[in-house]
Amino acid sequence: MSAIAGLRVATWPSHQRLEKRIDFKSRLASVASYRAHLEQMWGFYAALEPRLAAGISPAHLADFESRRKLPLLERDLLALGADGSAVAGLPRCATLPDCADPAAAFGCAYVLEGATLGGRTLMPTVESRLGFTAERGAAFLASYGAAVGDMWRSFGDALERCCAGAQQQAHAAAAAAATFAALEAWLCGSPP
């Protein structure tokens, strides 16, 4: 089984639990609720992205810097009326998985990269209901635009190279599951 397929299988229960708990209908119901959602996402990415940078070197994923979502979240929050200093002062998630080594970092990044695919499915709702676009207010959801498929495939290729062995795959799977759990706790509170 490929590393990415193994991650998909290992994280399926965590992914499904988060999907069931997060209420996107209410999160995208108004500009205020959408902004609150983006603020929470900013707090998660602001805490996790710097940690990922320690584990994923350019030798592992040459375009890692261009994959960062924090600048997109900041741009969206400013477009929604947030003040730059207020954004910098938003709460940050404190409970994060260890991702200092490459396999664990790729496991964490798998969750974030997968979220780019999910963001694309939310774009039509944000555009029609709230009037935001990739250029104004929904850059985070639009992320890679038309290149999302290519970016996912290139991430998968890098993941396969980094996590070729069973031990690396197990480490990546544990980190990915922990990332889902941390994101769920951050967005939804403790599991019921």
Phi, psi (deg, nearest 5) at residue 87:
-65, -45
pLDDT of residue 182: 95
Mean pLDDT, the chain, rounded, equals 93
Q: Which amino acid is at 61?
A: L
Q: Say if CB 80 and CB 38 are below 8 A apart.
A: yes
pLDDT of residue 84: 86
State what percent of residues in the chain have pLDDT above 70: 99
- pLDDT bucket at 30, cuts 50 / 70 / 90: very high
pLDDT of residue 191: 65
Mean of the pLDDT values across residues 120-148? 95
Report residue 40 as tokens: 């929470």
**CA angle, 64 as apex, 83 and 180 as ends, to 5°?**
75
pLDDT of residue 138: 97
pLDDT of residue 54: 87
pLDDT of residue 185: 94
pLDDT of residue 190: 73
Dihedral sign, Cα of residue 108, residue 110, residue 111, residue 113:
positive
Give the number of other Cβ atoms within 10 Å of residue 170's Cβ: 15
Find where tokens 């940078």 sit: 53
Provide DSSP, 61-107.
-TTGGGG--HHHHHHHHHHTT--HHHHHTS----------SHHHHHH
Q: Which amino acid is at 168?
A: Q
State what percent of residues in the chain have pLDDT above 90: 85
Is CATH 1.20.910.10 what the domain over 3-188 is classified as, yes or no? yes
